[in-house]
Amino acid sequence: MNVHAAAVTTAHRFDEQTSAFASDVIGDLSQQPKRLSPKYFYDAIGSELFEQITLLPEYYPTRTELGILRDRGRAISSIIPKGAALVEFGAGATTKVRLLLQQCAFGAYVPVDISGDFLKAQAEALRKDFPDLDVYPVAADFTAPFALPDAIANMPKVGFFPGSTLGNFEPHEACAFLRSAREILGKDAQMVIGVDLEKDERTLYNAYNDAAGITARFNLNVLDRINRELGGDFELPAFIHRAIYNRERHRIEMHLISKKAQTARVLGRSFSFRAGESIHTESSYKYSLERFTALARGSGWTPRESWTDKAGMFSVHALVTSD
């Protein structure tokens, strides 16, 4: 494997990221209702808590998607051209991509993530097991346009976006992301994407209100991160985690609820909370197969095949570019 480290992170990126974090936090807490972007959950502590979430008995998406990728590996590999470059939008645990790499004859792997450190660790982890695979990490915000490495210019492209991360985008953002992925991957590309499905409210509720309280810690960590990185003074015990299913909007909503009237300061700005006031920290949209395929069609992709588990909890879709 060749790891082309030159594409990976630079030292000043940290400062850029911190100032973007600061301006987003100030802007979002100044809104009515208050909110925070879910992308800020994932510092080192939040990423570790998320890994713990994926192992919780109540959190079905990760193990269900892995089961689909494992069981349908042959069908997936049959539609992927030999020697294609696999472009993964976001680099997390390597478990899912390993399944694809084992089952399909990819010529190169391009993990794309804003965190260069994460990319390096991911590339290192794959090096041992796939010695013949070329890996070209790209440090970029995958929701915005970025250039693919020249080395894969002549290879067919397959995008990979597992985990139902698409569900954390508002519907218009999901459409914009799919359009942008289509532009980045170019003509005659394919996309393999994992999408969580709408289901009974109890299962959804439990998945985001686990008995061990890990999701609550994950949610509250964003306030702790503001305290650590932006010198905030949020009193963590004065907020509680709440996750509800909003059936009309087909989404789980995560909130942090202020237990009392209080004021928190961040970077010299004061934010006042009423008792019971919420900060909306995440939406996790759940799709029906029809609503997802309509979204894909409206975003420049043609659904080629969809796979679900037996219980219809989660779906994996193969899309091809529309023209």
Tell me whether the omega of the peptide bond preceding residue 171 falls within 30 degrees of 0, making it cis.
Answer: no
Rg (CA), the chain: 20
Task: Tell which residue, 166, 168, 162, has the closest CA to residue 180.
Answer: 166
| Token code pair at residue 132 | 């013949």
Looking at the DSSP assignment, which residues form a beta bridge with residue 262? Answer: 273
Helix (H, G, I), strand (E, B) or coil at 25: helix
From the list 101-109, 116-124, 161-169, 270-278, the region that binds ligand AVI by CB under 6 A is 161-169
- Report the site for ligand AVI in 189-208 (rule: CB under 6 A): 208
Q: Are 96 and 163 in contact (CB under 8 A)?
A: yes
As measured in angstroms, the least distance from the Cβ of 323 to ligand AVI is: 30
Q: Which is nearer to ligand AVI, 3 or 226 (CB)?
A: 226
- Which position among 284, 293, 299, 315 is part of the footprint of ligand AVI (CB under 6 A)? 284
Binding of residue 215 to ligand AVI (CB under 6 A): yes
From the list 95-103, 135-143, 158-166, 262-270, the region that binds ligand AVI by CB under 6 A is 158-166
Q: Which is nearer to ligand AVI, 53 or 85 (CB)?
A: 53
As measured in angstroms, the least distance from the Cβ of 255 to ligand AVI is: 12
Helix pair angle (214-230, 13-29), 10° resolution: 110
- Which position among 122, 164, 180, 315 is part of the footprint of ligand AVI (CB under 6 A)? 164
- Which position among 113, 134, 277, 282 is part of the footprint of ligand AVI (CB under 6 A)? 282
- Which position among 94, 103, 122, 168 is part of the footprint of ligand AVI (CB under 6 A)? 168
To which H or E segment does residue 88 belong? strand 85-89
- Which position among 29, 36, 53, 138 is part of the footprint of ligand AVI (CB under 6 A)? 53
Binding of residue 165 to ligand AVI (CB under 6 A): yes
As measured in angstroms, the least distance from the Cβ of 308 to ligand AVI is: 17
Amino acid in position 146: F
Q: Are 214 and 178 in contact (CB under 8 A)?
A: no
Binding of residue 163 to ligand AVI (CB under 6 A): yes
Q: Are 308 and 68 in contact (CB under 8 A)?
A: yes
Q: Are 108 and 135 in contact (CB under 8 A)?
A: yes
- Site of interaction with ligand AVI (CB under 6 A): 53, 61, 163-165, 167-168, 208, 215, 282, 284
